Amino acid sequence: MDRIFFFLHMIGTLALGFYLVLPFILSGTAKLSAPAKEGTLSAIGGFNRFAQYGLVIQLLTGGYMMTKGDYSVAWMIVVVVLLLAMFALGGIMSRPLRLAAAGMRENRDVSAETAKIRTMSLLLMVVLVIMIFFMVYRRII
């Protein structure tokens, strides 16, 4: 049973990989035409929702595995806080994504929304890299 949960945890990790490449995807959208930018932002919104489901998988499977393993309390607190930060940042980013896609359809200036999306995506990438660091080097704390 532990191997099944570990496998599901790795599937959730793959879903979160989107957050690692998101800032690079967003940097390339500046050169796109308005319809292509709208489509890209809509696709990013769908992938963000997919990554949020990956976070739920991470929460459930990781929570189960923490009950079965020998982890320090400090490590568990750090990991849970980082996971909650990823939930929050991904959720906060969904609104500017919707507003930017709608603004592109209405030919409005969406530079404020895209700046927020860029900032949130960078923060998500940093938090995910920190999370991966603590997963690999769990004996540090």
User: pLDDT (tens digit, 9 = 90+) per residue, 61-104?
Assistant: 999 999 998 899 999 999 999 999 999 999 999 999 999 989 98
Residue 51 has a pLDDT of 96
- The CA angle 118-124-130, to the nearest 5 degrees, is 140
- How far is residue 8's CA from residue 45's CA, in Å, rounded to a whole number? 23
pLDDT band for 121, please (50, 70, 90 cuts). Answer: very high
Is 117 part of a structural domain of the chain? yes
- The CA angle 29-44-26, to the nearest 5 degrees, is 30
Region of residue 36 (left: phi > 0; alpha: psi -120 to 50; beta: else): alpha
Lowest-pLDDT range of 18-22, 25-29, 51-55, 127-131: 25-29
Is 49 part of a structural domain of the chain? yes
Is 26 part of a structural domain of the chain? yes
Is 109 part of a structural domain of the chain? yes
Q: How many structural domains are present in the chain? A: 1
Is 141 part of a structural domain of the chain? no
- The CA angle 117-95-61, to the nearest 5 degrees, is 85
3-state secondary structure of 104: helix
Domain span at residue 106 reads 2-136
Name the helix (H) or strand (E) containing 109: none
Is 37 part of a structural domain of the chain? yes
Query: CB–CB of 131/61 below 8 Å?
Result: no
Is 53 part of a structural domain of the chain? yes
Residues contacting residue 50 through CB under 8 Å, at least 6 positions apart: 15, 18
Residue 112 has a pLDDT of 92
Is 91 part of a structural domain of the chain? yes
What is the percent of the chain with per-residue pLDDT over 90, rounded to a whole number? Answer: 76
